[in-house]
Amino acid sequence: MVLGIAFVLVHAWLVRLNLVGGNRTLGDVDVVYRTWMQQGVGGGDWVGVDRPWVYPLLAAVPMLVARLGGDSGYGAVWLVLVSLLNAGAFVVLVARRRAGSVAAAWWWLAFLVALGPIALGRIDAVTVAVALVGLLLVSTRPSLASALLTIAAWVKVWPAALVVVAVLAVRRRVEVVVAAAVTSAVVVSISLVLGSGWNVFGFVGQQAGRGLQVESPAAVLWLWRAAAGVPGTFVYYDREILTYQIAGDGVGFAAKAMSLVMAAVVLGVVLLGLRAVRRGVTATRLLGPLSLAVVVALIVTNKVGSPQFVAWLAVPVVVGLVLARSGGPRFVVPAVLAVVVAGLTQVVYPLEYDALLAARPDLVAVVTVRAVLELGLLAWTVVTLWRVRPAPARMDA
């Protein structure tokens, strides 16, 4: 009862911040998403079908549902939709009646408050709710879990990494692979029937030419150069991809290199997970640290680094907290670090975003501290994955 009231209060607070807060908190939803859907409904091009899109095809589904509110109520319907998805995930979490479920639920609410309005006001919020349910169910219902994770990945790509985690961590991995393949085949088939052609995979190429986004950990060095007034180093708005990026000597090389760095780090994490599996580590002990490792790796090495990416942390941390009470590794350290990272993210966006764009030193310092903490999270997961051992065998009396 108390948890339910807290859930409602937290989401009411976040909805209020999105609707009346300043600094464009709901800008992507109320302007960008709404415009994309207006174009399609109005007889123009459908993104992801008639032309390549930055998101996979299923991202259009919640954006289209929000059209039920019309132009004036688009943002409000979006917030209600995301809140309902979170409510569904919350029910699945607390209904499991595991020892760690209640603690994980309270942590998730604290994390949402720390992260602020962006926890609801981006497409990432949809994927977080769906992926959380999938990861919670992966040990008991792997086919359903894999289908949910794959659906989330066809909204925004990052949950695909959790499918890889599931393949490694659970014993019924064939079911995971088959469910993911079938779900993807259905999505691609629907897209082709709609006439998308190769545009169904257009989101892959849309990321290739991007520079360093101003909030990304990789941009910290150039932000300090901009703060110091180094000529040729500055923040600019890219009107093609609708985001703020950093310019300066070496930025182009760094942006290209980060894709390789991401691949290398994620591969290293997967190899650590494979090592643990070969040593006989069960899903209970592996799922939390391995899922957190791949998610943090995707955040830390990402040249985009949008503030809403931090919302992804909720999925592995909640699952890690649940499993910690059932024999998994303790998750206090990553839980605390994730909340602090979320709080710093809210300071960066939306509270002091204009100051960051101006490369004000105090905000550059905040971004720097956040990047260090994210690296600390990654280090914790790597050490934990290296040290994790199979559960000790029980001795009969």
Residue 27: phi, psi to the nearest 5?
-60, -45
| Range 200-215 average pLDDT | 85
CA distance 393 to 370: 40
Q: Which of the pair, 305 or 178, is modelled with greater confidence? A: 178
User: Is 381 within 8 Å of 288 (Cβ atoms)?
Assistant: no
pLDDT band at 242 (very low <50, low <70, confident <90, very high): confident
**Residue 103 token pair:** 């603690």
Query: Is pLDDT of 146 > 50?
Result: yes
| Range 86-100 average pLDDT | 89
**Domain with 267 in it:** 2-387
CA distance 151 to 194: 18
Residue 273 counted as domain residue: yes
User: Is 61 within 8 Å of 157 (Cβ atoms)?
Assistant: no
Q: Which of 288, 43, 25 is nearest to 166 (CA)?
A: 288
Residue 230 counted as domain residue: yes
Q: How many residues does the chain have?
A: 397
Residue 173 counted as domain residue: yes
Q: Which of 211, 257, 217, 200 is nearest to 237 (CA)?
A: 211
Any idea which residue has 């600390």 for tokens? 376
Q: Which of 77, 92, 75 is nearest to 7 (CA)?
A: 92
Give pTM, 2 decimals: 0.96
- ∠ CA 47-49-52, nearest 5°, is 60
DSSP 3-state helix, strand, coil percentages of the chain (rounded to 5)?
70, 5, 25
H/E element, 132: helix 124-137
Residues 6+ apart with CB under 8 A from 297: 262, 265, 266, 269, 378
Residue 281 counted as domain residue: yes
Domains identified in the chain, total number: 1
| Range 264-288 average pLDDT | 94
| pLDDT given for residue 261 in this prediction | 96
Q: Which of 300, 365, 380, 378 is nearest to 333 (CA)?
A: 380
Residue 32 counted as domain residue: yes
CA distance 81 to 169: 32
| Range 246-271 average pLDDT | 95
Residue 393 counted as domain residue: no
| Range 158-178 average pLDDT | 96
**Residue 383 token pair:** 């050490």
End-to-end CA distance of the chain: 41
Residue 395 counted as domain residue: no
Residue 396 counted as domain residue: no
CA distance 46 to 51: 7
CA-based radius of gyration for the chain = 21
Taking only the tens place, the pLDDT of each residue in 111-144 is: 999 999 999 999 999 999 999 999 999 999 999 9
CA distance 237 to 141: 45
β-strand pairing of 243-247 with 234-238: antiparallel
